[in-house]
């Protein structure tokens, strides 16, 4: 009888330890796929490709880019500074402004159409950004 009791206690102890062990595993290693670390160069190239493909979309912005890469804003800024010496925001603006210059030189599209083609929601915001970028308004740029 004593042996049966010891055996029962041992089995209960083993069951308890097993439960604790599985609880620990579930707690420490949740059921998520492992996060794959992407090398910095790859992240930079992904960011550049994303901006080049999507700069015409008004919703293309730095917050969206950070979300896509799964990185913080400060990490993205340091990544761009290391590789280009400019911020991702300035890189996006350069893409948009250089495309706008081509549109202004090669088409007769009005400012509203050009603004939408290069990722701005309205011509006022576009004109302000263009003047800040190039030193002259889009209309003056087109005439020269």
The verdict on residue 126 lying in a domain is: yes
Question: What domain count does the chain have?
Answer: 1
The verdict on residue 55 lying in a domain is: yes
The verdict on residue 20 lying in a domain is: no
CATH code at position 118? 1.10.10.60
CB half-sphere exposure, 98, CA atoms < 13 A: 8
- Per-block mean pLDDT, blocks of 10 residues, the chain (144 long): 69 76 66 57 93 97 94 95 95 98 97 97 97 97 94
Domain with 101, as residue range(s), is 40-143
The verdict on residue 62 lying in a domain is: yes
Q: What are the C-alpha distances in Å from 48 to residues 31, 88, 99?
A: 32, 9, 16
What pLDDT is attached to residue 35?
46
What pLDDT is attached to residue 82?
93
Three-state SS at 34: coil
The verdict on residue 135 lying in a domain is: yes
What pLDDT is attached to residue 50?
96
The verdict on residue 10 lying in a domain is: no
What pLDDT is attached to residue 53?
98
- Express each pLDDT in 25-52 by its tens digit: 666 766 654 444 567 788 999 999 999 9
């Amino acid at each position: 009888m004593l042996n049966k009791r010891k055996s029962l206690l041992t089995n209960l102890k083993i069951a308890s330890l097993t439960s604790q062990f599985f609880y620990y595993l579930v707690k420490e290693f949740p059921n998520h796929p492992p996060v794959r670390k992407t090398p910095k160069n790859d992240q930079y190239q992904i960011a550049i490709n994303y901006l080049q493909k999507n700069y015409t979309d008004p919703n293309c912005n730095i917050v969206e880019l950070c979300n896509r890469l799964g990185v913080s804003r400060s990490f993205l800024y340091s990544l761009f500074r290391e590789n280009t010496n400019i911020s991702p925001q300035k890189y996006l603006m350069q893409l948009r402004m250089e495309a706008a210059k081509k549109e202004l030189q090669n088409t007769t599209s009005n400012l509203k159409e050009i603004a939408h083609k290069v990722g701005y929601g309205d011509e006022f915001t576009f004109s302000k950004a263009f003047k800040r970028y190039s030193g002259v308004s889009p209309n003056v740029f087109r005439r020269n």
